[in-house]
A = this chain, B = another copy of it.
Amino acid sequence: MKHALSVTREQDFAAWYQAVISEADMAEESGVRGSMVIRPWGYGIWERIQKLLDERIKATGHENCYFPLFIPLSYFEKEAEHVDGFAKEMAVVTHHRLIQKDGKLVPDPEAKLEEPLVVRPTSETVIGAAFSRWVQSWRDLPVLINQWANVVRWEMRTRMFLRTAEFLWQEGHTAHATVDEAMEETMKMLEVYRSFAEECVALPVVAGEKPENERFPGAVATYSIEAMMQDGKALQAGTSHFLGTTFSQAQSIKFQNAEGQQELAQTTSWGMSTRMIGGLIMVHGDDDGLRVPPRLAPYQVVVVPMLRDNDEDAAILDYCGDLVAALNKQDVFREPVRALLDKRPAKAANKRWGWVKKGAPIVIEVGGRDVAGGNVSVLRRDRLYREDGKLDSQIVAKGDFLGAATGMLEDIQQALFVDAQARLHGNIDKSITSLDALKAYFAASKKQGWALVQWAKPTGPALDKVIEWLKGEKLTLRNVPLDAEAADGACVFTGDKAVERVLVGRSY
C-alpha cells in the first residue's frame, strides 16, 4: 500500500512528524532562529483550539485581559526561584533605536535602556504586580483572569510546535483568599484541560501531580495532563500550578480579611499552548498525513468538484455549491458545520490528496456521473482504505449523505479518541517492581509506552539520585496520576515502603 507521505512513522518518526507539518501546509521555518511561520491550516486549528478552550475558560468564570510583552528586570529580581528557572532562556531588549553605522544598522548606543526589559517567558510577575493594585480587601477576591499571548523562551534545540523560541498560549492567573480555594481552582482548571483535550482534541490524557523536580519555578505544586504519542513518548499538554504565596509575597498581593487582618493572597496559574498541535499530529497523524478531529478541523467537509473544462462543469459546480450550502445549514457539536467548496484550478486528484494530507475529516468528490445519478463520492479520513488496500471511496446518494453527515463527523471524532485511548491504556505497564525490569522494559523497544511504578516519593538528594538514574536511561517522571490505585508495595527506586504510583516514560 503506497502512502501519501514520503516517509512513514515506522521508518523515522521524527522525519515523519516534519513531513506531516510540511505536507499539510501547517507551518514552516521562518528564517528567524527558533521561530516558525504558522500557515493557514495550522493557524486555523489553533483558532479552533482558542475558540473552544476560551469558551470553557469563560464558562468557569474567568475574564480575558492583556498584559505587557516587556517585563522590567527588577520584577524578576523579586522572586529568586522563578528567575533561576527562566534566566537561561530570556530574550532581553536593551535598546530602543537603530542607527546606520558604516553602512550597517546597529542598536544606537545613545538609546540604551536604563533598565533592560525581558520579553515575557510567562507573566506571573507582571500580572502579580497588577493583582497587587487590584486586591485590597477580601471582597476583591477571587480575581480570575486569562490572557491569550505570545511568549518567548530561548530554547537551544527547537522543533516546530513542540519547542519554539516564540510560541502562542493562554495563561490563566488567579488570586484567592484561602489555600483551599486556590487548590480548588488549580484542580478545576486541570479538569478543564483534561476534558478539553479528550472531548475536543480527542486526546486521551493522564491527569496528575508532577514530582517536585518537575514543578514550575516558584510553584508549591504543579499538575499536568500527559498524552502518549504514537512513538510511546509522553507529551505534557497542559499544566496547572498552585503557587501558594510565592508571587503574592514577591509582588505584594495583600488583602484585608473579614477580621480586618492583612493576609497574602494565594495564587494559581495554568497554561496550554500551540504545543497541543504537535500532540495532535503525533497522536492522530498517519502515513497519509494529518487526521484532524472534526471539532478542531477548520473545514470538516471539503467538496472537490471533478472539473473537465467542458460543458458539464457548470452543472457540477452548482451541484457542489448546493451541497456545501445544505451542509453549512446543519449543526454539529452545537455549531454550524464547516464545509468548503474547493474551486481552485488544479487537478481533482491532487486536491483530494491535498485534503487527505491536511486531514480534513470528510472529503467529497463530485464528477459528472455523480451529478447525473444524484450521488456523491465520500472519503472518510479516519478509514481511508478498505481491507484490500484500496481507497475506501463510497458512492452514496446525495440526500443520504446530507442526512448522515453530522453523525459521520461525530463518529470520526469518537473513533479518533477511542483509537488513541486504546493505545494509551494498552501501553502503560503496571507490573514493574524492579529497576532491572524497568530498564529492560524501555530497552525492549523504542516504541514502548510508559510504566506506572510504585515509589516512596523521595525528596531532596534522594530524589536527585532517582532522577540521575532515570536520566542515564533517557527516562523522566511524568506525573502521579490522580486516579491511580493506592500503593501497596515497595518503591521501585529505593526499596522503601511506597506511598503512591508515578508514571515513567520518555518524553518530548
Q: Of A60-68, A263-271, A386-394, which binds chain B?
A: A60-68
User: 0/1 per residue, A87-107, Cβ < 8 Å to B?
Assistant: 111111111111110001111
Q: Does A139 contact B (CB under 8 A)?
A: yes
User: Would you list which residues of chain A between 27 and 44 have a CB under 8 Å from chain B?
Assistant: 28, 30-32, 35-40, 43-44
- 28 CB-based A-B contacts, threshold 8 Å: A28-B130, A28-B133, A30-B67, A31-B72, A35-B68, A35-B70, A36-B68, A37-B66, A37-B68, A37-B130, A40-B63, A40-B64, A40-B145, A43-B64, A44-B64, A68-B166, A69-B119, A70-B91, A70-B165, A73-B98, A87-B100, A88-B97, A90-B97, A91-B95, A91-B117, A94-B94, A94-B95, A119-B119
Q: Does A71 contact B (CB under 8 A)?
A: yes
Inter-chain contacts of A106 with B (CB < 8 A): 73, 116
User: 0/1 per residue, A111-145, Cβ < 8 Å to B?
Assistant: 00000111100000010011001000001000001
Residues in chain A within 8 A of chain B (CB atoms): 28, 30-32, 35-40, 43-44, 46-47, 63-73, 76-77, 83, 87-100, 104-107, 116-119, 126, 129-130, 133, 139, 145, 149-150, 152, 154, 165-166, 168, 345
A72 B32 Cβ-Cβ under 8 A: yes
Inter-chain contacts of A46 with B (CB < 8 A): 66
Q: How far is the CA of A274 from the CA of B213 in the complex (A)?
A: 41
Q: A35 with B105: in contact, given A43-B64, A145-B40 (CB under 8 Å)? A: no
In the assembled complex, the CB of A77 is this many whole angstroms from the nearest CB of chain B, namely 6
Q: A104 with B117: in contact, given A93-B91, A130-B30 (CB under 8 Å)? A: no
Contact of A96 among B30, B38, B89 (CB under 8 A): B89
Chain B residue nearest to A119 (CB atoms) is B93
Q: How far is the CA of A92 from the CA of B97 in the complex (A)?
A: 7
A65 B40 Cβ-Cβ under 8 A: yes
Inter-chain contacts of A40 with B (CB < 8 A): 63-65, 145
B76 A105 Cβ-Cβ under 8 A: yes
In the assembled complex, the CB of A187 is this many whole angstroms from the nearest CB of chain B, namely 24
Inter-chain contacts of A104 with B (CB < 8 A): 77
Chain B residue nearest to A25 (CB atoms) is B134
B30 A43 Cβ-Cβ under 8 A: no
Q: A83 with B98: in contact, given A32-B71, A92-B107, A129-B31 (CB under 8 Å)? A: yes
Chain B residue nearest to A95 (CB atoms) is B92
6 smallest A-B Cβ distances: which pairs?
A35-B68, A40-B63, A38-B66, A96-B154, A87-B98, A92-B95
Q: How far is the CA of A83 from the CA of B103 in the complex (A)?
A: 13
Q: A68 with B32: in contact, given A92-B93, A97-B87, A154-B96 (CB under 8 Å)? A: yes
Inter-chain contacts of A90 with B (CB < 8 A): 96-98
In the assembled complex, the CB of A40 is this many whole angstroms from the nearest CB of chain B, namely 4
Q: How far is the CA of A87 from the CA of B68 in the complex (A)?
A: 22
Chain B residue nearest to A63 (CB atoms) is B40
In the assembled complex, the CB of A276 is this many whole angstroms from the nearest CB of chain B, namely 15
Chain B residue nearest to A54 (CB atoms) is B47
Given A30-B129, A32-B72, A40-B145, 18 more pairs with CB closer than 8 A: A28-B133, A31-B72, A32-B126, A35-B69, A37-B67, A38-B65, A43-B65, A66-B168, A70-B152, A70-B165, A73-B106, A87-B98, A90-B98, A92-B93, A92-B94, A92-B96, A95-B116, A97-B154
